[in-house]
């Protein structure tokens, strides 16, 4: 703190000032005056020193270094018997102003250090004005400049006697402590830190509206939000003290948002894993189908496709690797010419071959020829039916495959919706809870708990 000056007023009985007489008086008073000695008539006399502090400006508070910078005036009063005179001998001079460097001064500083003199030599007191002890830090309304970041809530002053730890011979036995209880004005931090942080963090919750298969995009958005939160946390860490005794609320809130964002990333990875499952790799149980496709969507208000009978629980489809190996073996032992002409009938068309054989039987006009033509066309008709059955079975299997794959995507959508409600509720409740903690984290109504005194001018 800065002490701008010290005004020492020496009072006598009555009279008027005269420049020549003032010079003579000052010379007489300073003769044989030793400013290094206490103004005590005898060695065991205690000098009463009254203190008053006037605040003119609250400049700044460096939270990282835990230092408060202010401008104050310190007013100290005491009685010095060596500076007495008879006004009648000096043209009735009753007031004389002298530089503070010429007289004895109490060795009292405002740097959290005690004075040089003990309680047996100097008695520290608070100033008394108009019969009332000044138990507060005075503020000059004409000179005081209000701080834009901090508001002064209380400014009490107390004399502390440390009788339990020290004796009157110790310099730490008595102290006059001026308290300055201040509270931050939050508008700057709300506009520049809290609101952008809340808006950016809300984007992480909105990733649940992306399709279930868009897991990569979900993770990308969430990680970008996490990086932005890390930047905000780094900026806050540069302003708060490096201490483990307490954590600021804004630091707690950013840590909470980072935890929520990390959980969202984990959810996106899990949902992506479920959405991309196929019947080749996983088989859906009836319990999962009943809970995720019928029960939960009704409570979540989700519109699901019309229910279709569940595909039969057949064995898991084999991989195509075995079919490829068999095809290679078939190509190795089958003659090339036989391979060329083996499917000639299929290339010409089975139905065309069958119709030609039946037509030859009809042209002959005899029942025997017609029966023979039908007998000749029987294998081809059977092959045609087998081909149709194969196509129908393959189509049915493909539909079942696609249907179960779509069911896995629907399960991913349901899990996404459940996670959205959980994380949105957690985000809103956590934000409101921490903001309520900040709202109730106010300066106390009284300077000291249990003491009803306001420590303000009456």
State the pLDDT at residue 300: 75
State the pLDDT at residue 369: 57
- Is the confidence at residue 339, as pLDDT, over 50? no
Residue 445's nearest CA partner among 454, 436, 437 is: 454
Q: Which residue has the higher pLDDT, 105 or 331?
A: 105
Tokens 């806050």 -> residue: 236
Q: Work out the mean pLDDT of the chain and round it to a whole number.
A: 76
- Is the confidence at residue 110, as pLDDT, over 80? no
Reported confidence tier of residue 65, pLDDT bands at 50, 70, 90: confident
Residue 378's nearest CA partner among 361, 399, 395 is: 361
Angle at 92 between CA 89 and CA 96, to 5 degrees: 100
- Is the confidence at residue 256, as pLDDT, over 70? yes
Give the mean pLDDT of 390-397: 76
CA gap 307, 310 in Å, rounded = 9
Give the mean pLDDT of 354-359: 60
199-236 burial code (b ≥16 CB/10 A, e <16): ebbeebbebbebebebbeebbebbbebbebbeebbeeb
- Is the confidence at residue 235, as pLDDT, over 60? yes
Tokens 């800065």 -> residue: 2
State the pLDDT at residue 429: 92
What lies within 8 Å, CB to CB, of 336 at 6+ separation is: none
DSSP 65-125: TTEEEEEEEEEEE---GGG---GGGGTT--EEE--GGGS------SSS---SS-TTTEEEE
Mutual orientation of helices 215-237 and 195-205 as an angle, nearest 10°? 160
CA gap 454, 134 in Å, rounded = 12
What lies within 8 Å, CB to CB, of 94 at 6+ separation is: 11, 12, 13, 14, 15, 87
CA gap 39, 365 in Å, rounded = 155
Reported confidence tier of residue 309, pLDDT bands at 50, 70, 90: very low
Q: Which residue has the higher pLDDT, 360 or 280?
A: 280
State the pLDDT at residue 7: 37
Two tokens, residue 165: 């730890």
CA gap 254, 11 in Å, rounded = 62
Give per-residue pLDDT as tens, 115-148: 566 777 788 888 888 888 888 898 888 888 888 8
- Is the confidence at residue 383, as pLDDT, over 80? no
Lowest mean pLDDT among 134-148, 266-280, 381-395: 381-395
Two tokens, residue 266: 């984990």
Tokens 């649940």 -> residue: 208
- Is the confidence at residue 75, as pLDDT, over 70? yes
- Is the confidence at residue 367, as pLDDT, over 70? no
Give per-residue pLDDT as tens, 426-456: 999 999 998 888 888 888 888 888 888 888 8
């Amino acid at each position: 703190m800065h002490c701008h000056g010290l005004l020492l007023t020496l009072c006598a009985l009555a009279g008027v000032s005269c420049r020549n007489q003032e010079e003579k008086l000052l010379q007489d008073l300073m003769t044989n005056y030793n400013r290094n000695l206490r103004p005590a008539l005898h060695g065991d006399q205690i000098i009463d020193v009254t203190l008053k502090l006037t605040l003119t400006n609250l400049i700044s508070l460096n939270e990282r270094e835990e230092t408060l910078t202010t401008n104050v005036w310190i007013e100290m009063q005491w009685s010095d018997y060596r500076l007495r005179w008879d006004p009648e001998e000096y043209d009735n001079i009753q007031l004389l102003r002298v530089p503070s460097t010429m007289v004895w001064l109490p060795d009292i500083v405002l740097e959290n250090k005690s004075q040089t003199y003990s309680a047996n030599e100097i008695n520290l007191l608070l100033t008394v004005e108009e019969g009332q002890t000044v138990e507060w830090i005075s503020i000059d309304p004409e000179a005081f400049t209000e701080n834009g970041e901090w508001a002064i809530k209380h400014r009490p002053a107390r004399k502390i006697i440390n009788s339990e730890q020290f004796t009157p011979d110790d310099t730490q036995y008595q102290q006059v402590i001026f308290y300055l209880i201040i509270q931050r004005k939050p508008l700057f931090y709300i506009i520049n830190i809290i609101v952008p942080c809340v808006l950016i963090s809300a984007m992480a919750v909105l990733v649940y509206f992306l399709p279930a298969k868009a897991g990569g995009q979900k993770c990308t958005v969430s990680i970008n939000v996490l990086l932005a939160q890390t930047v905000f946390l780094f900026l806050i860490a540069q302003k708060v003290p490096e201490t483990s005794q307490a954590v600021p609320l804004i630091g707690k809130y950013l840590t909470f948002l980072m935890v929520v964002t990390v959980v969202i990333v984990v959810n996106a990875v899990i949902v992506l894993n479920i959405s991309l499952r196929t019947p080749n790799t996983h088989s859906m149980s009836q319990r999962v189908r009943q809970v995720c496709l019928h029960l939960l969507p009704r409570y979540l208000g989700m519109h699901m496709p019309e229910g279709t009978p569940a595909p039969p629980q057949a064995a898991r489809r084999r991989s195509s690797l075995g079919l490829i190996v068999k095809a290679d073996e078939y190509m190795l032992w089958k003659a090339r010419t036989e391979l060329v002409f083996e499917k000639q009938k299929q290339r010409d068309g089975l139905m065309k071959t069958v119709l030609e054989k039946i037509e030859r039987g009809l042209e002959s006009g005899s029942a025997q020829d017609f029966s023979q033509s039908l007998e000749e066309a029987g294998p081809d008709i059977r092959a045609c039916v087998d081909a149709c059955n194969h196509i129908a079975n393959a189509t049915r299997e493909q539909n079942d495959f696609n249907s179960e794959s779509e069911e896995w995507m629907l399960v991913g959508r349901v899990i996404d919706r459940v996670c959205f409600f959980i994380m949105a509720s957690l985000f809103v409740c956590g934000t409101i809870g921490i903001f309520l903690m900040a709202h109730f984290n106010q300066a106390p109504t009284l300077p000291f708990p249990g003491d009803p005194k306001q420590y303000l001018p009456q």
